[in-house]
């Protein structure tokens, strides 16, 4: 499901946009300031982000720059909302890394059309995640290790994709169930262990299993920094 994050401090606008997006079958998250937005983006990758120019903590422009610094959101489409319609503002918004710009009051129909267009464009890109000698192509659904195409089952692929887009962070089995299997699925936490084991087996053949680290009493972490290995 396509996931969209909306960062806007005015609750009425935020709720209105969220509702419209949900009705258009998008999955949404809401943030009322930059700090919240950056935190949410660490837990869940967004396919598109809508950012209001005037936020209570740092400006939307600064937030875009921070988001663009993160590898997995370098190419995520961003739409900037603003109350100001000056050409100069539009230019600085686009300069900061926004892909599109809309003036308030926002027309929902126009917003949905622009979202569609941006997603069509971005999903045409090949989304490739690279960590050490692992290369995962989300678009083609393939994994290469040392340029060799690896045979990997669907669940292990999804699990690895999650880890590679969220490296260096520890996730509990429960969090992994939510993020990888989905929130409405009720599975035993041991399911995670089973698939971790399978994924490790694949990685071990290519000497990459140490990247998938067990953090005793907490969960798992994926990292190319082997000093963290427990
Ligand atoms: Ca605002």
Tell me the CA–centroid distance for residue 152 and ligand 1, in Å: 45
Query: Quick one: which of 39, 32, 29, 24 has its CA closest to 3?
Result: 29
CA-CA distance, 99 to 80, in Å (whole number)?
8
Q: Over the chain, what is the mean pLDDT?
A: 90
DSSP state of 12: H
Tell me the CA–centroid distance for residue 141 and ligand 1, in Å: 38
What DSSP element (H or E) covers 6?
strand 3-7
Mean pLDDT across 114-138: 84
Tell me the CA–centroid distance for residue 33 and ligand 1, in Å: 9
The CATH T-level fold of domain 128-228 is Arc Repressor Mutant, subunit A (1.10.10)
Tell me the CA–centroid distance for residue 120 and ligand 1, in Å: 28
> CA-CA distances (angstroms) from residue 89 to 60, 64, 102, 159?
12, 14, 11, 41
Residue 228 has pLDDT above 60, yes or no: no
Tell me the percentage of the chain whose pLDDT exceeds 70. 96
CA-CA distance, 190 to 222, in Å (whole number)?
18
> CA-CA distances (angstroms) from residue 206 to 27, 60, 99, 212, 213?
36, 43, 39, 13, 16
Q: At what angle do helices 60-68 and 34-43 cross, to 10 degrees?
A: 20
Half-sphere exposure of 131 (CA within 13 A, CB side): 23
pTM for the complete prediction? 0.61
Mean pLDDT across 63-77: 89
Query: Quick one: which of 142, 143, 115 has its CA closest to 46?
Result: 115
Tell me the CA–centroid distance for residue 81 and ligand 1, in Å: 9
Buried b (16+ CB within 10 A) or exposed e, 39-61: ebbeeebbbbbbbbbebeeeebb
Range 3-123: architecture per CATH: 3-Layer(aba) Sandwich (3.40)
Query: Quick one: which of 14, 2, 10, 11 has its CA closest to 108?
Result: 14
196 contacts 177 by C-beta, under 8 angstroms: no
Tell me the CA–centroid distance for residue 51 and ligand 1, in Å: 9
CA-CA distance, 150 to 202, in Å (whole number)?
8
The domain limits of the chain are 3-123, 128-228
Mean pLDDT across 102-129: 86
- The pLDDT of residue 126: 65
Mean pLDDT across 198-207: 94
Tell me the CA–centroid distance for residue 158 and ligand 1, in Å: 36
Tell me the CA–centroid distance for residue 103 and ligand 1, in Å: 12
Tell me the CA–centroid distance for residue 177 and ligand 1, in Å: 35
Bridge partners for 49 per DSSP? 5, 78
Mean pLDDT across 95-123: 90
Tell me the CA–centroid distance for residue 69 and ligand 1, in Å: 23
More confident residue, 88 or 48: 48
> CA-CA distances (angstroms) from residue 79 to 23, 50, 71, 101, 137?
19, 5, 19, 6, 25
């Amino acid at each position: 499901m396509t996931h969209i994050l909306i960062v806007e401090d005015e609750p009425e606008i935020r709720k209105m946009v969220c509702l419209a997006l949900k009705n258009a079958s998008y999955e949404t998250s809401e943030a009322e300031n930059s700090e919240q937005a950056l935190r949410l983006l660490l837990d869940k990758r967004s396919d598109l982000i809508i950012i209001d120019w005037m936020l209570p903590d740092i400006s939307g422009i600064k937030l875009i720059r921070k988001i663009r610094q993160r590898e997995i959101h370098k190419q995520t489409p961003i739409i900037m909302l603003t109350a100001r319609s000056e050409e100069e503002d539009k230019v600085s918004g686009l300069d900061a890394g926004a892909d599109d710009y809309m003036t308030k009051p926002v027309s929902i129909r126009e917003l949905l059309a622009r979202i569609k267009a941006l997603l069509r464009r971005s999903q045409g890109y090949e989304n490739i995640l690279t960590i050490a000698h692992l290369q995962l192509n989300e678009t083609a659904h393939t994994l290469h290790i040392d340029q060799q195409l690896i045979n990997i089952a669907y669940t292990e692929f999804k699990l690895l994709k999650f880890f590679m887009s969220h490296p260096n962070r520890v996730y509990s089995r429960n969090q992994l169930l939510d993020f990888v299997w989905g929130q409405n699925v009720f599975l035993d936490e041991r399911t995670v262990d089973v698939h971790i084991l399978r994924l490790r087996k694949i990685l071990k053949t290519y000497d990459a299993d140490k990247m998938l680290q067990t953090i005793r009493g907490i969960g798992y972490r994926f990292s190319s920094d082997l000093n963290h290995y427990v």
